[in-house]
Amino acid sequence: MSTRNARLESHSLILHGHRVGLRLAGEGPVLVLVHGMTSSSATWARTGALLARRFTIVAPDLLGHGETVTTAGDYSLGAQATLLRDVIVALGYDRATLVGHSFGGGVAMQFAYQYPERCERLVLVGSGGLGLEVNLLLRLLTVAGAEFVLPIFCRRELADAANACARWARAVGLRPTAAAEEIWRGYSSLADARTRAAFFRTLRAVIGFDGQRVSAADRLALAANVPTLIAWGTRDGIIPVEHAHRAHAAIPGSRLELFEHAGHFPHCEAPERFAQTITDFIDSTEPACVTAHLLRAQGLGKTRV
């Protein structure tokens, strides 16, 4: 990879009358980096800067996250995938490689399903939508009434006090792990009432008390049309690494990259290795060219008589 410095710059678009925040950098083949729930495009700052040495990086804030407007609208996977399509079109790009983390992995898969002609490759990072199991806390937050309890623990005063403690810790040389910083950033965002409301709508669209509600299991065979990389931390405490192995077995031709000492945020915990893994994957694969005709030929949309 080039040693040329790159940095993701904050921008915004107005789509359908609403503001969408995003970060952009680099030149070359287009990579769309899709963050997870309670996160934002900021999660890609380090990895995105490394990848921008070789690629055009587009990292949008999903609906209800970051600098993208929070509304009372639709926060489903389909709506988020449509947002990605609109961002790509607005920026003047035709196709891209989708890199999705956690909830963003589910969005990336939905994008590949809704807009196959626009998806060149698929990278799933600790992705949702690949199995039932998910962290107990997320399941508990789907219970009726959780939206009235969570504000007690997400008050702005608590977040400000904790941020002050974190600044003091850094001043004396104590630095939290990359994973801890990401978790804290997500927690802090929930101090805002509108963001918190969007979080619950997003969460309940994909997770219930019994686990993940949305599964791509019946569509994974279609991913054989698209070069697919599955990246996972072996110490993931949010979505178990077993999901990576299952998806790898279910997607013909897919690649599996395990990050042995990482948890749910391998792109933050091992950014150099993560960026190199993505680069190698892109360099060694040809972009997909999936058409509606091809999908029909494989049985999509056939009727039973």
Q: Determine whether 61 is an active site residue.
A: no
The encoded tokens of residue 106 equal 């589910």
Instruction: Give the strand pairing for 207-208 and 119-125.
Output: unpaired
- Catalytic residue list contains 236: yes
In the chain, helix, strand, coil percent, each to 5?
45, 15, 40
Cβ burial, residue 298 (10 Å; 0-12/13-18/19+): middle
Query: Which amino acid does the sequence have at 59?
Result: A
Q: Cβ distance 269 to 262 under 8 Å?
A: yes
Decide if 102 is catalytic. Answer: yes
Question: What DSSP state is assigned to residue 301?
Answer: T
Radius of gyration of the chain (CA): 19
- Which of the following is catalytic: 236, 243, 248, 267? 236
Catalytic residue, candidates 101, 243, 248, 264 = 264
Indicate which residue of 102, 127, 188, 189 is catalytic: 102
Contact 136, 159 (CB under 8 A): no
> How many CB atoms neighbour CB 252 within 10 A?
11
Which amino acids are annotated catalytic? 102, 236, 264
